Amino acid sequence: MTGPGTFLASSAGLGWRTADAGLWADPAQLDECTAPAVPDLTMVLVVAGHYTIESRAGLGWRSAGYRPGSVAVNAPGRESVFRWRSAGQPALRSFHLRFRSAVVHQALDGLAVADHDLDGLDALSLDDAYVSASLFALQRALESGTAGLYADAVAGALLTHLVHTGLPIRAGTSADSGPLGRRELARVVEYMRAHLGGNVQLDELAALANVSKFHFLRMFTQSTGLTPHRYLTRERMRHGAGLLRRTDLSVRQIAVLCGYASASRFAAAFRREYGISPAAYRR
């Protein structure tokens, strides 16, 4: 696990299978930093200190005040750009828990939740007493060197709770959908998902929102934090990942269903998104 601070402890060697954990001492101030998109689900618990964190949202920034017990959740496949400043002493410490992609998708499948609803798990600041208490329990387990049986039970229950309670908003929207409007955004996203194998044009999407292409590009990016092209690519990769897990279709067949003319182009896009090849992901 990597981060901008000083690494203090890791779950490596403890036999934790459901998630990887790490404890960090964070700097008092962090200038703009980019966390690359990964296929895993990451949760961060503030253990000590008070600070204000800002995360880029489209063309602007959203902010939240953090204190011990505050929790942030980074959804899989989403790059994040953030910065923070401390309110002073004590020193900042944070606990990071990363659920592996296969475990996350097992929870989604078990609760009959669609892969694309993972967007609903992204939260700059999550106010949930159960989540905070579970993460504190795992942080104590890490520091005491607790073996996997206890940690896996707590982490598994935490993930199930998060998926069950944390996905009230569908179609990739958020509580504040931005200037595009929730209804228009949902219409555009639904169209994208219905045409993943086709040639989706920007003017088609803009027409669905009843705005010009210029305004649509700006409004969609501000609403989702991603350009339409990046959003569509991510949806295609999620669809492809699901087909790799649940079907015996060849990579070539899956590439066509995801809008790629060749298996090699699909594989290159998949590797950029998930960090591994389609064949390795399937294994």
Last residue within a domain, chosen from 165, 193, 221 = 165
The stretch 192-199 carries a mean pLDDT of 93
Domain that holds residue 253: 178-282
Are residue 184 and residue 226 in the same domain, yes or no? yes
CA atoms within 13 A on the CB side of 221: 15
Report percent pLDDT > 90 for the chain: 41
Same domain, 199 and 160: no
Instruction: Give percent of the chain with pLDDT exceeding 70.
Output: 89
Average pLDDT over residues 72-85: 84
Residue 173 in domain: no
Mean of pLDDT values over 253-282:
91
- Tell me: do 110 and 145 sit in the same domain: yes
Q: How far, rounded to the nearest angstrom, does the alpha carbon of residue 265 sit from its chain's CA centroid? A: 24
Kindly indicate the confidence band of residue 174, based on its pLDDT and cuts at 50, 70 and 90: very low
* CATH code for the domain of 206: 1.10.10.60
- Are 208 and 261 contained in the same domain? yes
Q: Structurally, how many domains does the chain consist of? A: 2
Length of the chain measured in residues: 283
- Domain assignment present for residue 71? The answer is yes
Q: For position 168, what pLDDT does the model report?
A: 40
Both 15 and 135 in one domain: the answer is yes
pLDDT at 143 over 50: yes
Torsion over CA of 103, 104, 110 and 115, rounded to 10 degrees? -140
Q: What's the chain look like in SS3?
A: CCCCCEEEEECCCCCCCCEEEEEEEECCEEEEEEECCCCCEEEEEEEECCEEEEEEECCEEEEEEECCCCEEEECCCCCEEEEEEECCCCCEEEEEEEECHHHHHHHHHHCCCCHHHHHHHCEEEECCHHHHHHHHHHHHHHHHCCCHHHHHHHHHHHHHHHHHHCCCCCCCCCCCCHHHCHHHHHHHHHHHHHCCCCCCCHHHHHHHHCCCHHHHHHHHHHHHCCCHHHHHHHHHHHHHHHHHHHCCCCHHHHHHHCCCCCHHHHHHHHHHHHCCCHHHHHC
Binned at pLDDT 50, 70 and 90, residue 263 comes out as very high
Q: Which of 165, 188, 207 is the last residue of a domain?
A: 165
Q: Is the pLDDT of residue 17 over 80?
A: yes
pLDDT confidence bin for 69, thresholds 50/70/90? very high
Residue 172 has pLDDT above 90, yes or no: no
Same domain, 278 and 153: no
Q: Is residue 172 part of a domain?
A: no
Q: Which of 139, 165, 191 is the C-terminal boundary of a domain?
A: 165
Same domain? For 223 and 159 the reply is no
Tell whether 11 is covered by a domain: yes
Instruction: Report the relative pairing of strands 51-57 and 19-26 from DSSP bridges.
Output: unpaired
pLDDT of residue 257: 95
196 and 160 in a single domain? The answer is no
Q: What is the residue-averaged pLDDT of the chain?
A: 85
**Mean pLDDT computed over 179-205:** 89
109 CB-near residues (< 8 Å, 6+ apart): none
We report the CATH number of the domain holding residue 65 as 2.60.120.810
> What integer is the mean pLDDT of 57-66?
79
Q: What is the pLDDT of residues 89-128, one digit of tens each?
A: 668 899 999 998 888 888 887 777 776 667 667 788 888 8
Q: Are residues 28 and 109 in the same domain?
A: yes
Looking at the fold, whether 217 and 135 belong to one and the same domain comes out as no
148 and 25 share a domain? yes
Please give the Cα distance from 157 to 152 (Å, whole number): 8
Reported as a single tens digit per residue, the pLDDT across 19-57 is 999 999 998 888 888 888 788 899 999 999 888 898 877
My answer on whether 143 and 31 are in the same domain is yes
pLDDT of amino acid 192? 93
Q: Is residue 112 part of a domain?
A: yes
pLDDT band, very low/low/confident/very high, at 59 (cuts 50, 70, 90) = low
| Domain-embedded: residue 171 | no
pLDDT at position 216, please? 86
Residue 60: beta bridge partners?
57
State mean pLDDT over 174-178.
42
Q: What is the pLDDT of residue 176?
A: 41
